[in-house]
Amino acid sequence: MALEGKIVDFGVADILQLISQQQKTGLLIVEMQGERVEVLFWNGMIISANPVSEVERDYVEMKLLKAGLVSEQQMQRALEIQEEKFKHLGEILVDMGILDKEVLSEIIHNQIYDTFSTLFQWKEGNYAFHPKEIYFNEKIFLPLGLEHIILDVLRMIDEWPDIVKKITSFGNVVRKADRSLSEGNEDGAIQDRMSHDQKITYAMIGGKDSIQDIIDKSLIGRFATTKSLVQLLGAGYINVSPKEKTVTIDSKKNKYRLWERFIVTANAAILASILLLLTFLSPPDMKSTFAIFLDDPETRELACLDHTRLLKIKNALQIYFWEKGSYPLQLDELVKNRILHNDEINKVNGVKYHYKSKGSAYQLSK
């Protein structure tokens, strides 16, 4: 019998943990506003996690072709074998000697991390888990245990807003800076100072690729690629610029734009009149009256980060319980056991969460 429910009642992280703890095998489907993600479990471990749009066109196929690791001819032959033998595409490519097992594992694991980093932020929608037999061949790759990835994914969610602020658009074009010439260094000398992920990302930059192109070609995943690009940009090794667009505006379009400006100006004048009228008619509590206009994006972002940290603490408490058999008396124990960092047990503003433990149960709130 399928396990079904709403995310608002039973969060994504909670349902994943439940399936993992009970070592279930089957398919979890999560849907929200037309989007759909499918997660495959094998004995409570994660085999794959993909948006449905990427499931329909095999993710491994797309990634390998864009990265240039497999030619069109090799891929076509592998797909023909897949039709005959009904084997996983990755296993066929490994058997053909075209692909290393380690490379395949890296691609699939990074896709799981990227998918979960999006999925964990869904606050509404539906889920359904369907127990079923799953064919799994350990020759392809090793599955991931949920407890090993959940905290990493939550840290990715924490860092993502800062990365997006600096990226601004995934359509921006990335080019290598002329720093090597000004310092008299070659590319090789520059890469000696980079981390592993930075070296991989830097090597993909050709001068015409957008940030999204580099992500698509990368084997290290969306988060690691964009984080590396931000670090390389900060170090002055790359330049990021908007993609050039050719815009032609004829006289007819100019007339439409003048008319649009007139409409906007007229609407602004009407809105100003309404606001003036409300000022005289409404009570002096301006925050209440004009709450819709005073909604601060920064406040919303802080609330979102606090919610993410609260979720992270809940999962850390569960990991602590699995290891110790009881919940800690204080949240500081999570830091001492190296499950969380010191700043992760407090709100973004430094205020501590309300926490009480009874050993086999706990209370946690803002």
pLDDT, tens only, 73-89: 888 898 888 888 777 78
pLDDT band at 128 (very low <50, low <70, confident <90, very high): very high
For residue 149, the 8-state DSSP code is H
Determine which of 29-33, 64-68, 251-255 has the lowest per-residue pLDDT on average.
251-255
Instruction: Please state, in angstroms and rounded to a whole number, the distance separating the CA atoms of residues 40 and 117.
Output: 16
Q: Is the pLDDT of residue 54 over 60?
A: no
Determine which of 83-97, 166-180, 269-283, 288-302 has the lowest per-residue pLDDT on average.
288-302
Confidence at residue 130, expressed as pLDDT on a 0 to 100 scale: 92
Determine which of 123-132, 196-205, 321-330 has the lowest per-residue pLDDT on average.
321-330
Confidence at residue 91, expressed as pLDDT on a 0 to 100 scale: 83
Max distance between CA atoms of the chain, in angstroms, equals 78
**E strand or H helix that includes residue 26:** strand 26-32
Which residues neighbour 132 within 8 Å (Cβ) at sequence distance 6 or greater? 25, 26, 27
Confidence at residue 53, expressed as pLDDT on a 0 to 100 scale: 65
Q: Is the pLDDT of residue 307 over 90?
A: no
Q: Is the pLDDT of residue 181 over 60?
A: no
Instruction: Please state, in angstroms and rounded to a whole number, the distance separating the CA atoms of residues 286 and 323.
Output: 52
Confidence at residue 39, expressed as pLDDT on a 0 to 100 scale: 93
Instruction: Please state, in angstroms and rounded to a whole number, the distance separating the CA atoms of residues 105 and 216.
Output: 16
Question: Which two tokens mark 272?
Answer: 């100003």
Average pLDDT, the chain: 78
Q: Is the pLDDT of residue 27 over 70?
A: yes
Q: Is the pLDDT of residue 249 over 60?
A: no
Sequence spans of domains, the chain: 3-161, 168-241, 251-285, 297-365
Confidence at residue 105, expressed as pLDDT on a 0 to 100 scale: 85
Confidence at residue 253, expressed as pLDDT on a 0 to 100 scale: 52
pTM as predicted:
0.62
pLDDT above 90: percentage of residues in the chain: 10
Which residues neighbour 311 within 8 Å (Cβ) at sequence distance 6 or greater? 11, 13, 120, 154
C-beta separation of 174 from 238 below 8 A: yes
